Amino acid sequence: MPKVLWIGCSDSRVSEHQLTGSKPGTTFVHRNVANIVAFKDANVSTLLEYGVEYPGIEDIIVCGHTRCGGITAIVDGVREHYIADWLCIATGAEQAADRITKERKLNRE
């Protein structure tokens, strides 16, 4: 039974098995564009509830990666169709990251 839940990007270049060296069946996996964990996303909520309740997941990993197309689309302000609806979930995180970055720059000066 898997003991780790991996939430990662749907980008096929980022394989949890290659990154962790784990064997098939040891990791419970969920992927989506930009590896977003959204508060009101029934899919992620169900995954978390099931993973913790039934196989007994002990660790949860949310893994991003460099040059993520989803994150680039958030920064660039993509407005097309479903992808824009999905990525708007992460705009609060983008704003928080921008605020933290500005604060750190001010503290260094």
Give the CATH number of domain 4-108; options: 1.10.10.10, 3.40.50.150, 3.40.1050.10, 3.40.50.11810.
Answer: 3.40.1050.10
Residues 41, 88: Cα–Cα separation, whole Å: 13
pLDDT of residue 81: 84
Q: Which helix (H) or strand (E) holds 91?
A: helix 91-108
E strands, the chain, in order: 4-9, 27-32, 59-63
Nearest alpha-carbon partner for 64 in 94, 22, 43:
94
pLDDT of residue 29: 93
Q: What is the mean pLDDT of each run of 10 residues along the chain (109 residues)?
A: 92 87 91 90 93 93 91 85 87 85 87
The model's pTM is: 0.81
Which residues are known to be catalytic?
Answer: 9, 11, 13, 65, 68
Residue at 28: amino acid letter: F
